[in-house]
Amino acid sequence: VTGNVTVAFAVLSYAGTLVVSLIADPDTCPDLGKLRDGLENEFRAMTRHPPDPGGQAAES
């Protein structure tokens, strides 16, 4: 991360796999662990209730 960018995301999708990387300056982003945990929780929630390919939202 350069300049005044505190956090950057790198996302790669290949062969059915999605990889999300967080790149951060630990001096300016001391709560990176909270961000990582929040993203992980959201990805877990999405895999528990995947969206309907027909465009309809899954019901809880």
> If you average pLDDT over every residue of the chain, what do you get?
83
43 within a domain of the structure (yes/no): yes
16 within a domain of the structure (yes/no): yes
Q: From its phi and psi, is residue 51 left (phi > 0), alpha (psi between -120 and 50) or beta?
A: beta
Domain count, the chain: 1
Task: Label each residue of the chain as H, E or C.
Answer: CCCCCCEEEEEEEECCEEEEEEEECCCCCCCHHHHHHHHHHHHHHHHHCCCCCCCCCCCC
56 within a domain of the structure (yes/no): no
33 within a domain of the structure (yes/no): yes
**Residue ranges of the chain with per-residue pLDDT less than 50:** none
d(CA 24, CA 8): 6
15 within a domain of the structure (yes/no): yes
54 within a domain of the structure (yes/no): no
59 within a domain of the structure (yes/no): no
Range of the domain at 21: 7-48
Q: What is the pLDDT of residue 13?
A: 94
Q: What is the pLDDT of residue 55?
A: 65
First to last CA, the chain: 38
